[in-house]
Structure 1
């Protein structure tokens, strides 16, 4: 009774509108509901930290914290409202906790990367007070390790505990262990876990495939994918995404087409479409991109902002900038990625002025640009030739937008200065950068020196490029072109000799064409194509037609000399 009076007077429970009106929550002004039912009603009404404190006090003064079911619901409410910091102490001081309560708390804490150590602490405390870990607690606590690879040693300890408790062959535990090791780059350890499992379900297969894909080992990922006894949409999406992120867009599209033709009836979801659209954008495959757009509309897939952003990116990179703009204008909700994607698309399609106008519209809506937006803006200035405007954006971006320039921003402004002939300013800026210039920046300076016939800068740029990418034949070719443009033929020839002596070969030209949903790649000087003779014969016929029209662009006669009939 004394505790109740003190709590009412000092903590201020009873005067609170949340509790004062408790008896009215059920529409009966004269009768209170049972105490546990009242508490559940309170939890549903909680929305602020003050409400949480009052509800907690209401629970404590009535000893409701001895009821693990109610305490578990309280922890779930804390997690749902974002008060995860409160979870730890609510469970740590629980008078009679069970493993179910601890699992709820560990799961809530592990979802917050900054609270990973608290999740692990509760996991350890459960064992100290005599609770046995189960097939839920181990996956929950391992998700904390996934969010912080600095805790991988703790992850190994948890793995050992799972083995000792005989839980390591549980599929849920196995999946979590595979994901934990894979997320920290330990794919070989993840594979050991996978190989030692007694039973494999599709989630376990997907986890190890995702681990290889994240590590860039698409050969191993594809091999496991082929061996899967059953695949779901996650399996297909993981492979497509892995190829797309690894710049193997042809392979990504090929797997996507296999998925659509698969007899098992697996249909792509929004994530699969995002991966496929990314590959289409990289290849400029407008036809497939349009088909995907139509499929999304016809099958009423959830048209999320991310999916629409991917469509805008695909249309822009495929050269259909008008459709990109139309889709953009039709969107009712746009985020910073939406605006940045279109601004970048306009700039890369040579519409620098329109890109800058779009950026002005973006600022008018109140959406704050990010670092990617500013890269697109600087690129637009470069394409439009707005040197002073680009310099202004670059030098005021930290003060105006709170964005500190990174190496990509420096690369854009150096490229802008180089294109405009301000080679000295561009080179000086590359020396003043707070980080070391990369190959892209030195490549921009080398290209600018060729355009301005500045052999001195070209030599300096090539000297640095030889350190960061010594086997790039294009750098030697650019320097040779600079010497040739200045009539310094001996030096032009010498650069080619140096290139030959150190074993650098010029990369052959590459092209691709899609015929009947299949992509064909062609390399210059490649004689391995089985239809080589027919291809060259067709080219000769085209050349003859061009000769008759007096528009000959190339003579392919010498190419047939190397073809055996």
Structure 2
């Protein structure tokens, strides 16, 4: 380009800078821009977009401010790009200032700018401002991208009721509309709603994309809805999507969490390309099934394949050691995180190690590690120590753990029950009764148990004591009938056993 004199062509230079940025050479892209004597707004926009993707997006804002200083005017691309930098910086004051500038330039009603403003406000947790921007536009113009952005904004802050209400008002929905809401339900631990919406998407003949299937598989994994998961697997195979690594990772996770570890392994072994997430998901799945040694063997394979583990991999590895009770190996893996792989242990890895030591009876070492770690212990860590205290009858540590848990999660009934059980096992009935009284005085109620069952790709939830299921009466009658049959079978078995015992006794006496 230089030898042909094309390095001063703004359009070609812009394409070149964009290519550099997409390949990860954003600093080089910016250095090219700085050597241009008279850049136009198009070149400014491309470079701002490139700087947004760096570790220091503030440079994108600084360059944006130079547009007007160069006697140019920001256009409907300048604002969306610089607002992406604001999202990464999470600086709402700067976002509001840029919003004012969109009004000054008359671009505050441009659909691209509006979508960027909604995304910026929602990302900064200012959802009411986002809705205000949306309402001011929606009275004048319809644009599905803007509606999708507003639905995504609500989903981002966890307001799925408003997200769903807006979704239902849409006169035109595309695959992004459906996917946004399905993913929102899956991320907010409402897998039933996610699956219901995914099935409705099929009924309305909307072809799911990769993101929709990832969200649906996540929901299937949460519920153990293996029938629907297998349908998605068949769909992936049918449309040749089985080369997409994230989809295969989601299938491994779904099968493992649904109890089909063999199918998870089959998907894993059939993959030609495996990422660190693939290996980690498989190791975690094996550990979940109590196959600790197999999980550790898988980690050895991962090392031989020269795939560098990440911090999540070590959570899976330490969990596997915990399942098998391999304390010494767990200590080794915990230590090589930093020494071999340069990964600084975080609270999750400390929690796994404390749980491993506690389960194996090394309570003092577990407590020492807790005191030594550079973080405040969370409820999960104190909970694991409380559980270990219950196993080994360490009242002092149990009392200490409960004191911290009362502050961290005062309404968790399980914590009180464990310490009460420790007292009861040791015959200290007065203390056991006092714990139950504290529960009553604080209004702590035992959470009811619940279970799920999948029938014809639909997941039903049953909560103890709840009678709201539409088929409750019929189900109750069937359960009563089954219960009666079981009692009758038990009665027959007892009578038959009695007859056999008398026959055997008679034969022995003879």
2:447 paired with 1:503: no
Which SS does the other structure have where 1:401 is aligned? coil
The 8 Å contact of residues 243 and 252 in structure 1, kept in 2 or not, is answered as: yes
| Change beyond 3 A, Cα 1:80–1:548 | closer
What's 1:463 paired with?
403
| Change beyond 3 A, Cα 1:403–1:538 | same
2:185 paired with 1:243: yes
What's 2:81 paired with?
140
What's 1:95 paired with?
37
Determine the C-alpha separation between the residues in 1 that align with 2:181 and 2:452: 22
What's 1:252 paired with?
194
Which SS does the other structure have where 2:490 is aligned? coil
Cα deviation, 1:258-308, whole Å, max 9, x if unaligned, reads: 11111xx32101111111101111111111111110011112236311110
| Change beyond 3 A, Cα 1:169–1:546 | same
| Change beyond 3 A, Cα 1:551–1:233 | farther
2:206 paired with 1:266: yes
Which SS does the other structure have where 2:172 is aligned? coil
Determine the C-alpha separation between the residues in 2 that align with 1:69 and 1:270: 34
Structure 2 residue corresponding to 1:199, chosen from 110, 125, 141? 141
1:67-146 to 2 correspondences below 5 Å: 67-92=9-34, 94-114=36-56, 116-146=57-87
Worse overlay, 534-543 or 380-389: 534-543
Worse overlay, 481-490 or 307-316: 481-490
1:153-302 to 2 correspondences below 5 Å: 153-197=93-137, 198-262=140-204, 265-301=205-241
RMSD: 2.0
Determine the C-alpha separation between the residues in 1 that align with 2:410 and 2:108: 48
The 8 Å contact of residues 315 and 321 in structure 1, kept in 2 or not, is answered as: yes
Cα deviation, 1:54-75, whole Å, max 9, x if unaligned, reads: x3xx46xx5x555434443443
| Residue 166 of structure 1, CA deviation | 1.0
| Residue 85 of structure 1, CA deviation | 2.3
Determine the C-alpha separation between the residues in 2 that align with 1:466 and 1:493: 17
What's 1:322 paired with?
262
What's 2:329 paired with?
389
| Residue 376 of structure 1, CA deviation | 0.7
Which SS does the other structure have where 1:367 is aligned? coil
Which SS does the other structure have where 1:549 is aligned? helix
The 8 Å contact of residues 182 and 211 in structure 1, kept in 2 or not, is answered as: yes
| Residue 84 of structure 1, CA deviation | 2.5
Equivalent residue pairs, number: 490
The 8 Å contact of residues 210 and 238 in structure 1, kept in 2 or not, is answered as: yes
What's 1:484 paired with?
424
Unaligned runs of 5+ in 1: 1-38, 40-54, 553-565
| Change beyond 3 A, Cα 1:506–1:102 | same
What's 2:507 paired with?
none
2:301 paired with 1:361: yes
Determine the C-alpha separation between the residues in 2 that align with 1:453 and 1:78: 63
Cα deviation, 1:428-449, whole Å, max 9, x if unaligned, reads: 2212221111100111111111
The 8 Å contact of residues 142 and 155 in structure 1, kept in 2 or not, is answered as: yes
| Change beyond 3 A, Cα 1:455–1:160 | same
Which SS does the other structure have where 2:212 is aligned? helix
Which SS does the other structure have where 2:462 is aligned? strand
What's 2:498 paired with?
none
2:482 paired with 1:542: yes
Please tell me whether Structure 1 or Structure 2 has the larger radius of gyration of its CA atoms: 1
Cα deviation, 1:234-261, whole Å, max 9, x if unaligned, reads: 1111111111111111111111111111
| Change beyond 3 A, Cα 1:216–1:496 | same
Cα deviation, 1:292-327, whole Å, max 9, x if unaligned, reads: 100111122363111101100111111100111111
Cα deviation, 1:456-501, whole Å, max 9, x if unaligned, reads: 2211111111010011011111111112212222222221111111
What's 2:501 paired with?
none
The 8 Å contact of residues 65 and 95 in structure 1, kept in 2 or not, is answered as: no
Determine the C-alpha separation between the residues in 1 that align with 2:259 and 2:117: 44
Report the TM-score when normalising by structure 2: 0.91
| Change beyond 3 A, Cα 1:372–1:72 | closer
Which SS does the other structure have where 2:252 is aligned? helix
Cα deviation, 1:70-113, whole Å, max 9, x if unaligned, reads: 44344345435544324445444533332223223222323334
| Change beyond 3 A, Cα 1:548–1:430 | same
Report the TM-score when normalising by structure 1: 0.83
1:521-536 to 2 correspondences below 5 Å: 521-536=461-476
